[in-house]
Amino acid sequence: MPELPEVETVVRGLRPDLIGRTVVGAWTDWPKVLDDVSLVELTATLKGRRISAIFRRGKYICVDLEGVFLVIHLRMTGRLYLSDRAEGDDRWVHFSLALDQNAHMAFSDSRKFGRVLLRHSLDFLEAKLGPEPLTLSDADFADILQGSTRAVKTFLLDQAKIAGIGNIYADESLLRAKIHPLTPVDRLSRKQACALGAEIRRVLEAGIAHEGASISWYRKPDGNKGESQQHFMVYGRTNLPCKVCGTAVQRTVVGQRGTHFCPNCQRR
Ligand SMILES: [Zn+2]
């Protein structure tokens, strides 16, 4: 699933082409992709509006159309790109937003788990999402951890606690902070908690710099792969040597999620 660095890369890739464009229509061949609105209603609301901003909140893409928001969640296999055809450039496009100059913002999603929402406010996102990790100080991150007895890996994936981290960047952050993924949050020292906050920022910033991880479906808006996967220290490296110490990486399951860790660097 695309995580913060992948979603941020999509937003940055689309921004120069989208800002200032005017909506002229919308298309779908699978209305369920629209979470809470009909295509007719969406089109009537957005037609003639100009895209004033596109940004990310957690794993959500928010397109600001002069105060009305198109909110897109890529989920497992979502891709967002510009096409000159309403049906997009691949057979998994089920929604597109028609813009001026014959451009279409195409939403491709083979598994159909992704969703497009139309909202007049982003309060619903603020109500369900924790803070953004990239702008959180180490101390503020440590404060968020206070009082939880859950496994630290599970905690990091909880979008209500901290937004945007998924399986890949949680595993990478925990390796770098030398914390075992099953460690209960309340067993972490203040120093460990601050170190984890710093490593999360470092790992996410590196992920953005490498334009996301193309291990399965994720592609940049230009269709090319990101390169973050080439820099993984532990994620997906079961039985391969840990890039810190050379010990074989192990895979376990934490909160139903496949979890990679180094038994030497990350002791319980
Ligand atoms: Zn190691």
Q: Is residue 156 part of a domain?
A: yes
End-to-end CA distance of the chain: 28
pLDDT at residue 36 greater than cutoff 90: no
Parent domain of 17:
4-128
pLDDT tens sequence across 77-116: 999 999 999 999 999 999 999 999 999 999 999 999 999 9
Of 74, 227, 256, 250, nearest in space to 174 by CA: 250
Q: In this structure, what CATH number is given to the domain that contains residue 189?
A: 1.10.8.50
Q: Which of 15, 75, 243, 257 is catalytic?
A: 257
Tell me how far apart the alpha carbons of residues 14 and 144 are, in angstroms, rounded to a whole number.
Answer: 32
In this structure, what token pair is assigned to residue 6?
């992948």
Ligand 1 centroid to Cα of residue 212, in Å, is 23
* Residue 144 and residue 35 share a domain: no
Q: Is residue 17 part of a domain?
A: yes
Looking at residue 134, the DSSP 8-state letter turns out to be G
Looking at residue 247, the DSSP 8-state letter turns out to be P
According to the model, what pLDDT value does residue 172 have? 98
According to the model, what pLDDT value does residue 43 have? 98
Tell me how far apart the alpha carbons of residues 249 and 239 are, in angstroms, rounded to a whole number.
Answer: 5
Beta bridge partners of 253: 258
Ligand 1 centroid to Cα of residue 234, in Å, is 9
* Residue 189 and residue 104 share a domain: no
Q: Which residue has the tokens 């909880």?
A: 158
Percent pLDDT > 70 in the chain is 100
Greater confidence (216 vs 154) lies with: 154
Sign of CA dihedral 11, 16, 21, 25: negative
Q: Give the distance, in angstroms, between the CA of residue 182 and the centroid of all CA atoms in the same chain.
A: 23
| The amino acid at 134 | L
Ligand 1 centroid to Cα of residue 176, in Å, is 9
According to the model, what pLDDT value does residue 21 have? 98
Ligand 1 centroid to Cα of residue 174, in Å, is 11
End of a domain among 128, 145, 162? 128
Q: Is residue 268 part of a domain?
A: no
pLDDT at residue 216 greater than cutoff 90: no
According to the model, what pLDDT value does residue 180 have? 98
| The amino acid at 210 | H
| The amino acid at 170 | A
Overall average pLDDT of the 38-53 stretch: 98
pLDDT at residue 238 greater than cutoff 90: yes
Q: Is residue 266 part of a domain?
A: no
Q: In this structure, what CATH number is given to the domain that contains residue 111?
A: 3.20.190.10
* Residue 12 and residue 87 share a domain: yes
* Residue 113 and residue 180 share a domain: no
Ligand 1 centroid to Cα of residue 46, in Å, is 52
Overall average pLDDT of the 211-234 stretch: 94
Looking at residue 184, the DSSP 8-state letter turns out to be B
According to the model, what pLDDT value does residue 249 have? 98
In this structure, what token pair is assigned to residue 226?
């990101």
Indicate if 3 belongs to the active site: yes
According to the model, what pLDDT value does residue 1 have? 86
Ligand 1 centroid to Cα of residue 1, in Å, is 25
* Residue 140 and residue 250 share a domain: yes
Number of domains the chain contains: 2
* Residue 85 and residue 174 share a domain: no
* Residue 86 and residue 14 share a domain: yes
* Residue 151 and residue 115 share a domain: no
According to the model, what pLDDT value does residue 138 have? 97
Ligand 1 centroid to Cα of residue 175, in Å, is 8
Burial of 15 (0-12, 13-18, 19+ CB in 10 A): middle
Q: Is residue 267 part of a domain?
A: no
Q: Which of 21, 56, 59, 161 is catalytic?
A: 59
Please say whether the beta carbons of 4 and 169 come within 8 A: yes
Of 268, 260, 229, 266, nearest in space to 245 by CA: 266
Q: Is residue 93 part of a domain?
A: yes
What is the residue-averaged pLDDT of the chain? 97
Ligand 1 centroid to Cα of residue 239, in Å, is 12
Please say whether the beta carbons of 9 and 54 come within 8 A: no
* Residue 95 and residue 40 share a domain: yes
Q: Which residue has the tokens 């630290």?
A: 152
According to the model, what pLDDT value does residue 131 have? 98
Q: Is residue 121 part of a domain?
A: yes
End of a domain among 67, 100, 128? 128
* Residue 117 and residue 153 share a domain: no
* Residue 113 and residue 150 share a domain: no
pLDDT tens sequence across 126-172: 999 999 999 999 999 999 999 999 999 999 999 999 999 999 999 99
Q: Is residue 36 part of a domain?
A: yes
Indicate if 257 belongs to the active site: yes
End of a domain among 83, 103, 128? 128
Residues 6+ apart with CB under 8 A from 254: 151, 153, 154, 181, 182
Of 55, 45, 73, 72, nearest in space to 18 by CA: 55
